[in-house]
């Protein structure tokens, strides 16, 4: 017995402080996951994912864009050609690889991308019967919550959704903290919004209780068009404070940039589109601060 007690000598404090530190795991805040969604086509989802992501990265945040659209426009618009997409979001959702293994860097510092390919069109058919079909992306994102040495810890994950309320979009909504909805400033802007909100509601009830609408961003605003001002007023009346103050103007530089494989902020930092996306990023960071404080 006395032998046992004597073996319990306290470890000298001086030696403890000289031991190597354990790597810092799980120290950082989990990334904020925002799904950029609207089942209407051509409203500015991809443009917003690319340029908001670039603007957040320019402000100093580490950002991951997940291309969840088989069209792969976010991947092309960020200059990731098809040859560089040997591993894609399809492989991740199919459970063949980890999300980290699909991520590629972009030309923008602090901005990474998980690219997509046309394979994603087969997702619903191939995975649509499995019990966890709506949670594939959510499960794939979980490892990003742990920050490990040598791995980027993302502050924001932006998911570029396809123009449909299909299983891919439901996966995005189930994985997200919040939805960011681009609405084009045109006559039918609000058409389809109630259907989108209903889908958000049922995902919240059945899959993801914490899901919120982060905000609505009005896109392609043309001040020469008399109707555009009326559309802005209507959307603000209908959605109130959910509508961001920042409005993205229609700007030809924004539409030219993807053909060069560049975000507009890289293509022409001084144009009105770039300035608007920088303002939107600042507004989103501010909203995030307010949410955390609340």
The pairing of beta strand 104-105 with beta strand 111-114: antiparallel
Give the residue, chosen from 75, 88, 117, 219, that forms a contact with ligand ATP under the rule CB under 6 A: 219
Residues 38/41/46/49 CA torsion (nearest 10 deg) = -10
Total Cβ atoms within 10 A of residue 40 = 21
Residues with Cβ < 8 Å from 93, sequence gap 6 or more?
Answer: 120, 123, 127, 136, 137, 140, 171
Counting contacts by CB under 6 A, is residue 42 touching ligand ATP? yes
> What H or E segment, with its residue span, contains residue 247?
strand 243-249
Nearest distance from residue 96's CB to ligand ATP, in Å? 25
Residues 143/149/151/155 CA torsion (nearest 10 deg) = 70
Counting contacts by CB under 5 A, is residue 208 touching Mg ion? no
Of 76 and 147, which has the nearer Cβ to ligand ATP?
A: 76
Counting contacts by CB under 6 A, is residue 259 touching ligand ATP? no
Nearest distance from residue 160's CB to Mg ion, in Å? 6
Counting contacts by CB under 5 A, is residue 73 touching Mg ion? yes
The pair of three-digit structure tokens given for residue 90, joined into one six-digit string:
């399809």
Counting contacts by CB under 5 A, is residue 45 touching Mg ion? yes
Counting contacts by CB under 6 A, is residue 62 touching ligand ATP? no
* Cα separation, 134 vs 120, whole angstroms: 14
254 contact choice in Mg ion, ligand ATP, none (CB below 5 to 8 Å, kind-dependent): ligand ATP
Counting contacts by CB under 6 A, is residue 110 touching ligand ATP? no
Task: Name the residues that contact ligand ATP, by CB under 6 A.
Answer: 41-47, 69, 71, 73, 163, 219-220, 248, 250-251, 254-255, 258, 273
């Amino acid at each position: 017995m006395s032998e046992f007690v004597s073996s319990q000598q306290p470890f000298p404090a001086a030696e403890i402080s000289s031991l190597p530190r354990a790597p810092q795991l799980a120290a950082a805040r989990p990334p904020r996951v925002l799904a950029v969604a609207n089942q209407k086509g051509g409203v500015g989802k991809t443009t917003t994912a690319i340029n908001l992501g670039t603007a957040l990265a320019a402000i100093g945040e580490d950002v991951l864009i997940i291309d969840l659209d088989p069209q792969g426009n976010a991947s092309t618009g960020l200059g990731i050609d098809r040859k560089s997409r040997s591993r894609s979001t399809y492989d991740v959702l199919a459970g063949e690889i980890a999300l980290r293994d699909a991520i590629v860097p972009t030309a923008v510092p602090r901005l990474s991308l998980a690219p997509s390919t046309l394979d994603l069109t087969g997702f619903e058919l191939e995975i649509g019967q499995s019990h966890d079909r709506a949670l594939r992306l959510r499960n794939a994102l979980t490892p990003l919550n742990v920050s490990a040495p040598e791995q980027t810890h993302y502050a924001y994950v932006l998911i570029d959704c396809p123009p449909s309320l299909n299983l891919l979009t439901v996966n995005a909504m189930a994985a997200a903290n919040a939805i960011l909805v681009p609405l084009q400033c045109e006559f039918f802007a609000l058409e389809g919004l109630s259907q989108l909100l209903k889908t958000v509601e049922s995902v919240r009830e059945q899959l993801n209780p914490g899901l919120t609408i982060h905000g609505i961003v009005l896109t392609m605003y043309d001040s020469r068009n008399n109707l555009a001002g009326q559309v802005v007023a209507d959307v603000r009346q209908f959605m109130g404070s959910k509508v961001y103050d920042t409005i993205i103007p229609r700007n030809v530089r924004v539409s030219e940039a993807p053909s060069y494989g560049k975000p507009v902020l890289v293509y022409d930092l001084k144009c009105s589109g770039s300035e608007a996306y920088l303002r939107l990023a600042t507004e989103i960071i501010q909203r995030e601060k307010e949410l955390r404080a609340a």
